[in-house]
Chain A
Amino acid sequence: MEEVTATVVIEGAGVGPEVAEATTAEKKGFKVVVAVDDSEISHYALSWAIDYVLANRREDCQLVVLHVQHFVETFMYPVAGHAVYAPTLSIDAVRKAHEENSKRVISRAVDICKSKHVDALTAVAEGDPKDAICEAAEKLHADLLVVGSRGLGMIKRAFLGSVSDYLAHHAKCPVLIVKPPKGSHK
């Protein structure tokens, strides 16, 4: 249905020329990929992962913060009926808005990492979140994929969010699903 072209762009947020290594060489050690988006829960998941998974073995763990950008539609359907190609200006505007959003999400995630003294690589993929995260995790040779899940709607514990549900079934590597802390009503 929708095109899933997950293009993964890796940028080093920490010190060092580790850019190429992230995708090509299988770095020795434990690679943890945390998927983040705008939501509070995904940033909580990042904190949780740093505190409980990376914990006291930062040396041989590699953290990758992954953000999936919404796919920019190149055409739209005006009320009249048939699809037309969107004017370039509006595509650019939308794309720019998405990129701003991504930058914000990534920088917030990087701030969390920095405050906990963790060097993280960042990666941005485009496309449908479910597939893009799966694909990116494979490309990055993730040892563990971490996602937050607040559940669908207000019924927090009875249901799993659709992205984490999908990943639990389709990701090739182990998946860690972080729930909101007890007593919070997010």
Chain B
Amino acid sequence: MRVLLSFLLLLLASSAIRSSSSPVTDDPFLGISPLDEKYYKSSSEIKCKDGSKRFTRAQLNDDFCDCADGTDEPGTSACPNGKFYCRNAGHSPLVLFSSRVNDGICDCCDGSDEYDGIVTCSNTCWEAGKAARENLKKKIDTYNQGVVIRRKEIEQAKVGLEKDEAELKKLKSEEKILKGLVQQLKERKEQIEKIGEKDRLEKEKEEKERKEAELAAQPGNGTSEEKTDDNGKVEGSTAGEEMPGVSQDDEILDENEHHDETGRYKDLDTDEEPAAEAEPTSVLEEGTHTNPANQHVVETKEESPSSEDLITAGSQHDGSTKKEESDEVKKEEDIVSEKKEELSKEELGRLVASRWTGEKSDTPSEADEDSKADDHENHDHTPTSPQEVEEDDGFVSDGDEETGDDGKYSDHEPEDDTYEEEYRHDSTSSYKSDGEDDLDLSETTSSPTWLEKIQKTVKNILQAVNLFQTTPVDKSEADRVRKEYDESSSKLKKIQSRVSSLEKKLKQDFGPEKEFYSFHGRCFESKQGKYTYKVCAYKEATQEEGYSKTQLGGWEKFENSYQFMTYTNGDKCWNGPDRSLKIKLRCGLKNELMDVDEPSRCEYAAVLSTPARCLEDKLKELQEKLEKLMNQDQPQKHDEL
């Protein structure tokens, strides 16, 4: 996918042609790259490069296309597939489509593409070149500094990773020991409980016998409260997998109709409850992949504060808090059953309009505000066309070949991967992501002796309790065992959770040099209009407006050699795809999110500047480019050679 508007080619001093500020009209070699002149000068009969035929010197640039590939007409518009080379002395050479030659629009800064006299193009190469060089210098500056920061980050990442690994190792061994202790305590506890139970049963038995003796025989009945409970849970958790057939699902459907803007499972992805996390996620996945109706269940759950509630949410919404929605469901039903009587004229109008707009029919003109809010603050500093960029910095198509198909609107972005401080208008910030890795293990981890202490305590307890093995259990000792068991197992849980979060972290892709290590647990924010965009690396991206939060996607991966970060499977769009976000990464001195946009419905795009993308190779490349541009500054010199 590289139909390039132009190629950046350098001039070789030995073959430089005479520079001229006025358009060349009678140059037989017009439009030919200096590198190519030899090909044309070699003989009187020239071959079409595709080998299709030969043409004479007189047929070169005679404004009649002989070669299908355009070989014979480098300097005219005669061949549709031709390319025109303009030298642009003082700036960078440019290769144009032949369709630009003598079309009345000045494309080359030296004006050489317009020579039929219909328009006069002034030579702007010097100014443009100067501006481009300055831009390039600035860019190099940024890279220079960025590269240093990046190196630091890589070192820090190394340290951080080592630390993480060490911690993990340590935690794992602690986990092992603690597991043993907890097991011992558990056994002890159960022993004590057994004894206690035995005592209790005996006492009960005695009591029973006593009561039986006292009273005449009476029938008892068995109940199973617990079972009922279980049933409730089962029903709740399977609601998401089966076609709902009970009335409360009406509201659930309704939710989808009217509340598609709200986030879905934003609170689920915390590291504190890895076990609890797994289940709702799987429910969610089934919801998105199997049947649309299932999603509604998931969406409803989003409102539930905890993951436990979440599992039973399906059965817990009894409509008491959702009266409004259920009224609206009625409306929908009526429409479906062709009874529009209950719709006001306005409601009917909105409803019909919503077919085209896909909007909620009860909020009419959100759509324009929606688009209005997107990104227009950036207009003044965004290049409006590649040409302009070209004029500005002269390196349109120089390098990011690996960019491939992933521009903001399309596959080929004008290269602009530095981010100058002074361009900054967005209010952006980055910070530690909430709840990430903040599990408080300080109590357990800060002192190296905590484990020993526990071990000791446990030993004491076990010994102490042992003494009473045969006698009835001392209540305070039993309490002590229980308490110690509770504390230890809670600590164990914490450690296990930390282990799992560390393991998860270490599995992440931090880049070839771990330059993205510092992204872990960080969020980047950008305020645009009424929306705040929040991008949390390795986690999720959201769009917030007031209290409403829309998930733009969960972390997917880096793409195209770490030039992009992608988030996918965000909140479903009414009538559209699941939301997703693609972030272009470019070199900058700080991590900053900007230019959030929605080029296609519910497919978001943004730019993140980061030192992690200030690559040394790229810096070298830029420096070489600058060097060449500087050398080319004095074309006259070469002419004299």
A and B from one complex: no
Q: Which residues of B contact A (CB under 8 A)?
A: none
